[in-house]
Amino acid sequence: MSTTMQLLRTDWFGLLVAFLLGAIMLGVAQPSFLSTYNIYVILTAFALSVLVALSQMVIVAIGQLNLSVGAIGGLAAITFAGAMDLWNVPIPVAILIGLMVGVAGGALNGVVTHVTGLNAFVVTLATLSIFKGTNIGITEAQPFYDIPEAVKTFGNARFGFFPYLLFVSGAILVAVWVFMRRAVLGRQLLAVGGNRNAAELSGISIGRVVVAAHVLSGTLAAVAGMLAVARLQLGQPTIGDDWLIISFAAPVIGGAVLAGGHVSVGGTLLGVAIIMLINNALVLLNVNPYAVQLLLGALILAAVALSRFRDPA
Amino acid sequence: MKINRYTTVAAAALLLSAGVAQASDTKAALVPGGPHPYFAAWEGAAAAAAEDFDVEAEYEVPPAWELSQQNEMIESLVAQGYNAFLVFPGDASGTNATLGELKDFGIPSATLAGCTEAPTPALFCLGTDVYNSAYLGTQELIKAMGGSGNIAHFTGFLVDPNTQLRIDAVEKAASEHDGVEVIQVIADIDAPEPADEKINAFLAAQGDNVDGIVTTAWVPAVVAATSLRNLGDKRIKMVGIDHDQVVLDAIKDGYVHGTMLQNPYGQGYIGVYAMDLVRSGCTMKDDAPWMTTAQTDRFIDSGTAFVGADEVDNYQDAMVRVTDEIMADFKETYMNCPN
């Protein structure tokens, strides 16, 4: 098989070409696309969204769906912000509390899914309501405003076009890539998603893997939520409400098989990048507001279809 | 099935309350469409009204912005004995069905902050005249811009019928001035992450070309104020909406020219007062000075006011004044009461 054919069969190459073509076309149509500030804006949105996508991707890897990604992220966000605002806890402790919320939320999803044998779709639909209800109960729909300057500064600092937030997301992206490629547990996630019975017969503890995947998913969502607090400079109770579409679209564009067993960290990264590009283009090209949702949906669908066309199997 | 279930809970509640409407029996629920900081003032309004009018009144928030969840919450509240409802319609048409079921069981309702489509069982709609608010806000912005320049309009969800009214009002205000143009409308950004992404993308692309920003939804106002502060940009004039602390601080610090206040507290307070009067036997006057909007011909303006740097420290005063004005002759103006 030629190198070109090998590249074409990867999850990421076609997406990379599509992204670059899109970026070039947008740069020609609207030169401000390539301005330092606009690239910073895109990378900032990317830094948050890629964690959301990875949070869903690890669940897709085991052949399940997690509807509560945004609700966990939102709960972690307001817990993180509230701990600093109401209790004046030091930032590292607040981060730890936020992470614990993510771990606990993910563990609840994983344990309930495994113990009851219910479909994760149903379980996370219910826990979505629990997490969101807890969020609203704590905040009464009011934001936490008193966020330490250090957090606000970090959320909006940049080197040229490179936001500091991307240091966190980039490090996690690499860690998840290594985890899925090299770690035993990462490979077990894919094994369980690919063929649950075969995985069980080969000695893999299904329950442990399912719970681990959900804990990882919850943790990633929690980090995304806390980064959103830093970026927005306040703990908005509605953080996470808007994550559902991108959480599914990016991994699927990136070549993930919803039935489980195959996901691509690189593909998911490019899936997020393409969605960011589409979002940015709709603003830069001053698309009629009534057409934005339609075009966004159509373009995401086109991206998904193209990724499937590349690999019809 | 839904009607049957509804019938059961409503009947149970009516049995509990014996179907006798007396002022002291009033147990009003204030139900927004979902969690949103705009409605938080309803809680204080309900508490104040409960004390002032010797009734029960509670603010109950559905867990999400979904009509079904709001309907389920209303059903649950009926089962708990609530006998008057003040509702922000989760859907301008869809909410009518729920309010109709309440009416069938003798439970009065009105809509607050947003209206249902006529014909509607809601006795009245008490809310901001959003067209007027957006129009006045844009006029203030144009004044601050020196009478000419390019405007960007950041607004809320397109499914909210108020959004189109706001878009039209901003266009109308701009069209009345030579040299003023609305160069871009960004909608569906009443949530923090998309607002942050799209407003900053706009500023990246058009920051040098835009002279004024008008926002007509809560979250875009907060995000735009934050973005202008982050950029250190005081050249671009901005008129926001509502009273989020971020917007008020940005007004004080000169990053935002002013904000168009709405009156959620007055809506809740007056709403409970009116429901108590209805339960004590009053009816709404057909010949009251109702305003007509795109949705209803029984609209009452709860007031709006521009607050700039000079008024920002005492911004509540403006709304208290408006509330007092409406309360002063509300009963005589809008209701027929026994005695």
Mean of all residue pLDDT scores within chain A: 92
Task: List chain B residues with CB under 8 Å of A233.
Answer: 226, 246
Q: What count of other Cβ atoms lies within 10 Å of the Cβ of residue A149?
A: 8
Give how far B207 is from chain A: nearest CA, Å.
10
Task: List chain B residues with CB under 8 Å of A35.
Answer: 204-205
What per-residue confidence (pLDDT) applies to A289?
A: 84
What per-residue confidence (pLDDT) applies to A203?
A: 94
Residue in chain B nearest A290 by alpha carbon? B158
Residue pLDDT, tens place only, B65-119: 889 989 999 999 999 999 999 999 988 889 999 999 999 999 999 999 989 998 9
What per-residue confidence (pLDDT) applies to A76?
A: 98
- How far apart are the two ends of chain B, measured CA to CA in Å? 43
| Mean pLDDT for the stretch of residues A6-35 | 86
Residue B14 confidence (pLDDT) above 60: no
pLDDT band at B160 (very low <50, low <70, confident <90, very high): confident
Tokens of B90: 């989760």
Nearest to B196 by CA among A193, A30, A227: A227
CA dist., res. A68 & res. B67, Å (int)? 20
Residue B1 confidence (pLDDT) above 90: no
Local structure of B233: helix, strand or coil: coil
Residue A305 confidence (pLDDT) above 90: no
pLDDT band at A302 (very low <50, low <70, confident <90, very high): confident
CA dist., res. B300 & res. A47, Å (int)? 46
CA dist., res. A264 & res. A195, Å (int)? 18
Nearest to A283 by CA among A26, A35, A43, A36: A26
Task: List chain B residues with CB under 8 Å of A38.
Answer: 201, 204-205
Domain boundaries, chain A: 11-310
pLDDT band at A207 (very low <50, low <70, confident <90, very high): very high
Within the 287-326 window of chain B, which residues sit less than 8 Å (CB to CB) from chain A?
A: none
Residue B2 confidence (pLDDT) above 90: no
Residue type, A312: P
Residue type, A143: P
Residue pLDDT, tens place only, A213-257: 999 999 999 999 999 999 999 999 989 998 998 999 999 888 888
Length of chain A: 313
pLDDT band at B16 (very low <50, low <70, confident <90, very high): very low
pLDDT band at A309 (very low <50, low <70, confident <90, very high): low
Domains along the sequence of chain B with CATH: 2-128+263-303+316-336 (3.40.50.2300), 130-261 (3.40.50.2300)
ipTM over 0.90: no
What per-residue confidence (pLDDT) applies to B17?
A: 44
Cβ–Cβ gap A233/B40 under 8 Å: no
Give how far B188 is from chain A: nearest CA, Å.
8
What per-residue confidence (pLDDT) applies to B19?
A: 40
What per-residue confidence (pLDDT) applies to A226?
A: 98
Residue B13 confidence (pLDDT) above 80: no
Q: What is the pTM of this model?
A: 0.84
Residue type, B224: A
Mean of all residue pLDDT scores within chain B: 89
Residue A55 confidence (pLDDT) above 80: yes
Cβ–Cβ gap A234/B186 under 8 Å: no
Task: Identify the CATH number of the domain defined by range A11-310.
Answer: 1.10.3470.10
Cβ–Cβ gap B192/A48 under 8 Å: no
Residue A308 confidence (pLDDT) above 70: no
**Mutation for testing the A interface, residue in B154, B197, B203, B247 having most A CBs under 10 Å:** B197
